Amino acid sequence: MAIATVNPATGKTLRTFEPYPATAVEQRLARAEQTFQQYRLTDFAHRAQLMRRAAELLDADRETIARLMTTEMGKPLTAARAEAAKCAKAMRWYAERTPALLADEHPAAEDVADAGAARAWVRYRPLGVVLAVMPWNFPLWQVIRFAAPALMAGNVGLLKHASNVPQTALYLEDLFRGAGFPDGCFQTLLIESGAVAEVLRDHRVAAATLTGSEGAGRAVAAVAGDEVKKTVLELGGSDPFVVLPSADIAAAARTAVTARVQNNGQSCIAAKRFIVHTAVYEEFRIAFTARMVALRIGDPMDEATEVGPLATRQGRDELSELVADALALGAEMECEVEVPDRLGEGWYYPPTVLSGITEQMRIHHEEAFGPVATLYRADDLEHAVRLANDTPFGLSSNVWTTDAAEQERFVRDIQAGGVFFNGMTASHPALPFGGVRRSGYGRELSGHGIREFCNATTVWVAQG
């Protein structure tokens, strides 16, 4: 894929970039390593000052960067503004809380004595240069939720962003430099995917984090494993949205639409499989499909637009294939929203609801990355749990029930990195984010996330 800004609302290429030559990549690697040796010695107060300044600059740039994100990957402008605001909030959160999150840990006095020490504690130290391979769907947030904790911990970052959001990638480098971070503290690498392995194998790169497809995760994990380097992977998801009889059905249906079509349906944590107890199935189906049909599809720059285009032509084609396969094997079309003719040049896909899904259909096992919902009827609680776990993924989950025993059952048995009751999955700096199974490993955000790229160093001082 060329490194280029292609407006998905029109299909037109607006700007192209040449990949950095090997000499430029080498310069950035050398600069990153050199900067780390000095930056790691700075204190939390200094890093926090820089991070707060970066948040201030981002707030000032909110409208500009929001329009750039919408131009590059098609998210509605209102959602792009919200993404920029969320990033600034996370930067301030880590600026304020890192000293507590990475404070020295002191075992109980009796344990220290039992270990034969006069004193013993754990100190968190940064690993070094961390390579971040990031996707296009949340082109600012995905990067900031890595960069804010990593830089506050004393690491430095190299960003290999998705090839269709190069201007957003370059903006991020400028943002940190403009805030006063040293030149090598956060750098963008405009390189093609095939060049990632060589960078990861470089001895100056200590670790890597990737958010993206399962295939990309496997490739990075294989190289990192061969080099014995730490990785955090956040891959795909096919999150269940379970509705049980005690739920507020109207509220569940309203939230379900947002959970499915957020970011034009292109979100790993979007609800994709809607599993509804038979006692409330018809009520939910009618309310859900009615709200899907009412969605406003249009130019993502239009303030009234709720669903814009998919980010790439390939993504639209792959989603079309999943739906066609399901229909050919007997799925029923509950609704398909008509895309206005005037949008014909863009990569739009109609919000769609399918029912009658079976195990033979690809969409039952694969992630539908776009505004397509699959609807399942669950016979009872046991059946709902089985359907929720009948996926190779395990990122997050949504369950609608007010019954405490049912809630505990899902906390115990759901195979996912999170379970959200009577709401929809969302990420927040205070809560760990990540999955299990083929959704990846490791955690981002919260104290768990900032410690992923730290060396938990045991310090032991002898008695006497």
Residue 309 in tokens = 């285009």
Distance, in Å, from the CA atom of 73 to the CA atom of 139, rounded to the nearest integer, reads 8
Distance, in Å, from the CA atom of 337 to the CA atom of 351, rounded to the nearest integer, reads 5
Kindly list the distances between the CA atom of residue 271 and the CA atoms of 274, 373, 389, in Å, as whole numbers in the listed order.
7, 8, 14
Q: Which of 48, 308, 328, 323 is nearest to 180 (CA)?
A: 48
Distance, in Å, from the CA atom of 149 to the CA atom of 446, rounded to the nearest integer, reads 9
The residue whose two tokens read 């344990």 is 111
Inter-residue long-range contacts of 334-342, CB under 8 Å, 24+ positions, other chains counted: 334/285, 334/289, 334/375, 335/289, 335/292, 335/293, 337/292, 337/293, 337/295, 337/297, 337/307, 339/297, 340/297, 340/298
Q: Which of 305, 199, 185 is nearest to 210 (CA)?
A: 199
Tell me the three state secondary structure of residue 286: helix
Distance, in Å, from the CA atom of 112 to the CA atom of 188, rounded to the nearest integer, reads 44
Work out whether strand 372-378 and strand 352-355 pair parallel, antiparallel, or are unpaired. Answer: parallel
Distance, in Å, from the CA atom of 159 to the CA atom of 168, rounded to the nearest integer, reads 11
> Following DSSP, what letter does each residue of 134-198 receive, concatenated?
--SSSTTHHHHHHHHHHHHTT-EEEEE--TT-HHHHHHHHHHHHHTT--TTSEEE----GGGHHH
Residue 366 in tokens = 């694969």
Distance, in Å, from the CA atom of 19 to the CA atom of 24, rounded to the nearest integer, reads 10
Tell me the three state secondary structure of residue 237: coil
Query: Which residues have a catalytic role annotated?
Result: 234, 268
